[in-house]
Amino acid sequence: MAKSDAGGGDAHECGECASVAFGDPESACCGESMTPVDSESVVSPDLAMALRDVFGISETGLNVCLCLMEAGESTAGDVADQLGIDRSTVTRQLNHLTDVGVLDKRQRLLEGGGYVNVYSPVPVEEVRERLTAGLFAWTDEALDLVEHVNREKLDALARADDERDADGAEGGDGRARGDAGDGSADIYWDG
């Protein structure tokens, strides 16, 4: 199924300034239409990958979540018994799933005193909204990281150029220092 068939979109890039837009194929930048970005080298995520990478939900967490969705309201002990997993592991997963927003947690009073935490699945549409909001927030942070790397790379290139200029670009024979005269320096420096 194509991305656009699934309700997603495609990335488009401006040929002039390299800005990237997501979604609208009619996007324009610098007075011209943007061109689709080649996504052949991009690994398309599946649900398990997205949940793991974006929300930190492990395979065990996914199994715990699916078990609870099938069973309805359950305690950590109920889920642990159902899956044959240690109760403390299940409790950690349930608390993380609650933090992510796919489960609700409430306390049920016990007849003999005390209480037990009871977990229940959040309605599907609400989960979709929460996960979508979380994905957008994660994407924004990921884009900031990429932009930071790009700025660092540009700064490093500028420093290298400054150092090259400061070291004296000319050697005694008219070639740039480090230039063997065979054109190999052109790989690193234009000019």
For residue range 5-50, list pLDDT tens digits in order: 334 457 888 888 877 777 766 778 888 888 888 777 778 888 888 8
Q: Please state, for a pLDDT cut of 90, what percent of the chain lies above it.
A: 41
**Rounded distance, CA 97 to CA 55, Å?**
9
Distance (Å) of CA 38 to CA 5, 6, 164: 18, 18, 36
The residue ranking higher by pLDDT, 140 or 150, is 140
**Rounded distance, CA 153 to CA 27, Å?**
28
Query: Residue 176 pLDDT more than 70?
Result: no
**Rounded distance, CA 52 to CA 46, Å?**
10
pLDDT tens, position by position, 75-97: 999 999 999 999 999 999 999 99
Distance (Å) of CA 61 to CA 45, 134, 178: 18, 17, 56
Residue 177 backbone dihedrals phi, psi, to 5 degrees = -55, 135
- Determine which of 83-87, 118-122, 169-173 has the lowest per-residue pLDDT on average: 169-173
The sheet with strand 103-109 has its strands ordered as: 74-75, 115-121, 103-109
**Rounded distance, CA 64 to CA 77, Å?**
12
